[in-house]
Structure 1
């Protein structure tokens, strides 16, 4: 991705948060690289060099700023095909994909060759996937050193390093600091970890909580006192909003420390933190609302099950069925929150169930069979439900499952695949909001919202809510 130095410097002068994470600035006179929102005095333009990724700045020898902390910057959402693949690959790399697999293995997730993945990542970020992974590991370790009291060995392994010696050596060579030099002093070790995730303002936090709260599966999720709580595998998270710092504060049970990278990736997807509100609002015009987001998927299979449960029933009825499903088939989880008792069942668990057990929860038999068939397709790798996956191919494979039609496939694409142009035009709420049942007319109206029709769908649903 090409950057215009003049435009970048203007954004830097105003500390424009809308460009936070879109680019980073390296300051030649200090050897430090920063976010656009850094509170430090802005360097002279002749001393600035701009990069599309933190890894590109580090490849040129720059060290991360200790004040603005580049590891907190939000990611990017792209709508062009190469950019989407690169952004999705970057998210998977950030979640540790290359710690357990090769570039070729990651490329297979997206249905492309390793060579093509290297090419699109290099074009988008200016570095190779391996260089990107190395920088992400170091930045994540820096986050843990700053925000937690985890022992050094656990920091190293949670960040994707296979040995403490390798972690220490790379940290010192890249940042010219020992890991303990940036460790904040903590009091008594906490039973939880707290991390910050930045976003580009504005953020309609209350709209997100309303959406998630109305659809919460009792036992696995809850909205309590302005925070979103949910179980994750054998632990739990609680997500709150700090508008002053323009961040989400994520409290994570210590049991999830080894999987913290993956957990934070799920939070980013769920709250659509990579969105660029400025671009979306410009396209939606009067329909848009400040800080609009498309709630994504902490886990793709979970959203697909919700979509099937939500067919031709109210949101409240679908949430009731989801709660029964979780409590019947999910693993019990011990948490300090009375509302959190079970984890969402995995595709592997559901695939082993007879459809009759699912139907016994009050779920229509056809949908029960559909859920089990969907679980088996996900378990067997026939369908992958994650951002960056081929959208049209995935929708087609979903529609091959009896019981999944166009509405369900579009809803899954919107949330699980994070496809910003997904649009379930046959949805009853959308028809009511647009005051027409004519599908051709609805699609014609929606043309002006492309490529952000998923955001238009959310806005139309919001428009039906009572004040």
Structure 2
């Protein structure tokens, strides 16, 4: 779906799921009420025959519709920023969800989004009904409740892990958000553990914390069905030697965080129908909230599979594949920059060869993490500083090394490849780099930027599977699968036993 050509049926499917990833891409008008909304509006969705779609808020108003008072799709009526406000709000909410306020502050988030702090505050209050600080406070409270319910950490550690500045603030916010003190969410524990935990919980603001952050075990919940076997196979096939560790039933990988990389282990064997079990060893307990957000995005735990099944299940091409694997997800990115660089490394070579090159790069430039001999993937700045010859030294061709170095330089200079990025602008910036074509740009958009409607029409396997002779024909066939074309691509790749 593009602002200039909206597929009404695809837009209705997206709006039916209230998925905030589509906010700003179109607006929904209800003919029976004369009201228009954002796709994620919590109000009851109209029947298909009563729904019309617009590329902008201004277009909806020009057609005689007025703004919904629940989702507030209007920002500043009549201003030149009106059309873009919805997308700005959606990008800001995604960034806040991923911990941008904790990492950068509200001012830093505004700079990342290229707006003033005052304008960001005004747009979020108008569109979402809450300020950046309020949204982040709710995010912290929800994280804290999960930690209280699922771990034996002292409440003081949970307070700082969730990003609160003090235990007093933690208690006040939890009372405000949930109407109950944090301790009320504790699960019953044996008496021996209860005494030790109660002593730690009562220490208050000045309670000491351990020098090293503890290993935290969490159950990351998701909507069933979830195809854990397919996700596990994908991650195993893409494991980078020296960075990722595959053990019996588990997968360990570094996760970038503010105070240093953490080690996260997905315990596939301990999973269940409604959750995946992860063990997280952060450098600092304060990083835990952001790490959990990263892992949820990486494993695509927030998708609603029933929406995708409803949209694709009756299709003659994709429907049978969805029937066989109804819980298939699209793997995201732990680090958007690393995923982008790995995509360029893997251009036009086999997956095995790409892993060899990536392993050499990690061995040469990666930073040790933990005590198991694993290393992080090098940052864009490290790759840039290493230079062209160092990239040639890991076995890349001259053209591939040049493309990788250019991309690393662009990332180091601020090219945004995170879910909060402007997708169209990022894709255009990628295509402007020599050595990066449509396949690479689309694949990065799908995985690093998390766009569920991105197809990869230049992919050879997809074209062959669809019987298309060129990307234009593949795109035309895939149009019927919008707004879930990314999931359709994943079904086709999985059915072909191809893991791009």
Spell out, residue by residue over 1:227-279, the C-alpha distance to the aligned partner (whole angstroms, 9 max, x if none): 33212344311113466450111110153522111111111111112212222
- The equivalent position to 2:352 in structure 1, one of 303, 313, 316, is 316
In the alignment, does 2:167 pair up with 1:164?
Answer: yes
What corresponds to 2:449 in structure 1? 417
Distance in 2, matches of 1:277 and 1:212, equals 20
Distance in 2, matches of 1:85 and 1:175, equals 29
1:327 Cα offset (Å): 1.8
- The equivalent position to 1:137 in structure 2, one of 129, 136, 140, is 140
In the alignment, does 2:265 pair up with 1:238?
Answer: yes
Spell out, residue by residue over 1:200-251, the C-alpha distance to the aligned partner (whole angstroms, 9 max, x if none): 2211111111111111111212443333321234431111346645011111
CA contact (8 A) 2:362 2:378 kept: yes
**Aligned ranges 1:146-157 → 2 under 5 Å:** 146-157=149-160
- The equivalent position to 1:361 in structure 2, one of 394, 413, 421, is 394
More divergent stretch after superposition (129-138 vs 221-230): 221-230
More divergent stretch after superposition (214-223 vs 298-307): 214-223
Judging changes above 3 Å, is the alpha-carbon distance between structure 1 residues 81 and 239 closer, same or farther for their aligned structure 2 residues? Answer: farther
Give secondary structure in 1 for the equivalent of 2:354. Answer: helix
- The equivalent position to 2:232 in structure 1, one of 206, 209, 213, is 209
What corresponds to 1:255 in structure 2? 283
Runs (5+) with no aligned partner, structure 1? 1-17, 23-50, 54-79
How many correspondences in the alignment?
391
Distance in 2, matches of 1:195 and 1:438, equals 45
Judging changes above 3 Å, is the alpha-carbon distance between structure 1 residues 227 and 154 closer, same or farther for their aligned structure 2 residues? Answer: same
Distance in 2, matches of 1:456 and 1:283, equals 10
What corresponds to 2:382 in structure 1? 349
1:176 Cα offset (Å): 4.8
What corresponds to 1:269 in structure 2? 297
Higher Rg: 2
Give secondary structure in 2 for the equivalent of 1:127. Answer: coil
What corresponds to 1:225 in structure 2? 248
CA contact (8 A) 1:303 1:412 kept: yes
Distance in 2, matches of 1:290 and 1:85, equals 33
CA contact (8 A) 2:160 2:285 kept: no
CA contact (8 A) 1:52 1:124 kept: no
Judging changes above 3 Å, is the alpha-carbon distance between structure 1 residues 191 and 104 closer, same or farther for their aligned structure 2 residues? Answer: closer
CA contact (8 A) 2:455 2:486 kept: yes
Distance in 2, matches of 1:426 and 1:97, equals 33
Distance in 2, matches of 1:196 and 1:440, equals 43
Judging changes above 3 Å, is the alpha-carbon distance between structure 1 residues 193 and 452 closer, same or farther for their aligned structure 2 residues? Answer: same
More divergent stretch after superposition (165-174 vs 195-204): 165-174
1:430 Cα offset (Å): 1.2
Judging changes above 3 Å, is the alpha-carbon distance between structure 1 residues 162 and 84 closer, same or farther for their aligned structure 2 residues? Answer: same
More divergent stretch after superposition (417-426 vs 238-247): 238-247
**Aligned ranges 1:2-401 → 2 under 5 Å:** 86=89, 88-112=91-115, 114=117, 117-118=120-121, 121-122=124-125, 125-172=128-175, 174-184=177-187, 185=189, 187=193, 191-233=214-256, 234-241=261-268, 244-284=272-312, 285=315, 286=319, 287-288=321-322, 289-336=325-372, 341-381=374-414, 383-401=415-433
More divergent stretch after superposition (405-414 vs 428-437): 428-437
Distance in 1, matches of 2:491 and 2:114, equals 32
Spell out, residue by residue over 1:390-424, the C-alpha distance to the aligned partner (whole angstroms, 9 max, x if none): 11111111122221111111110010111122222
TM-score by length of 2: 0.70
Distance in 1, matches of 2:371 and 2:17, equals 38
Aligned alpha-carbon RMSD (Å): 3.1
In the alignment, does 2:488 pair up with 1:456?
Answer: yes
Give secondary structure in 1 for the equivalent of 2:486. Answer: helix
1:114 Cα offset (Å): 4.9
Judging changes above 3 Å, is the alpha-carbon distance between structure 1 residues 335 and 21 closer, same or farther for their aligned structure 2 residues? Answer: farther
Judging changes above 3 Å, is the alpha-carbon distance between structure 1 residues 464 and 175 closer, same or farther for their aligned structure 2 residues? Answer: closer
Distance in 2, matches of 1:368 and 1:129, equals 41
Judging changes above 3 Å, is the alpha-carbon distance between structure 1 residues 438 and 370 closer, same or farther for their aligned structure 2 residues? Answer: closer
CA contact (8 A) 2:91 2:422 kept: no
Give secondary structure in 2 for the equivalent of 1:240. Answer: strand
Distance in 1, matches of 2:328 and 2:120, equals 31
Distance in 2, matches of 1:107 and 1:276, equals 30
Spell out, residue by residue over 1:118-149, the C-alpha distance to the aligned partner (whole angstroms, 9 max, x if none): 56645765433322211111222222233334
TM-score by length of 1: 0.75
Runs (5+) with no aligned partner, structure 2? 1-15, 21-40, 44-82, 198-212
Give secondary structure in 2 for the equivalent of 1:426. Answer: coil
Judging changes above 3 Å, is the alpha-carbon distance between structure 1 residues 141 and 111 closer, same or farther for their aligned structure 2 residues? Answer: same
More divergent stretch after superposition (225-234 vs 210-219): 225-234
Distance in 2, matches of 1:165 and 1:392, equals 43
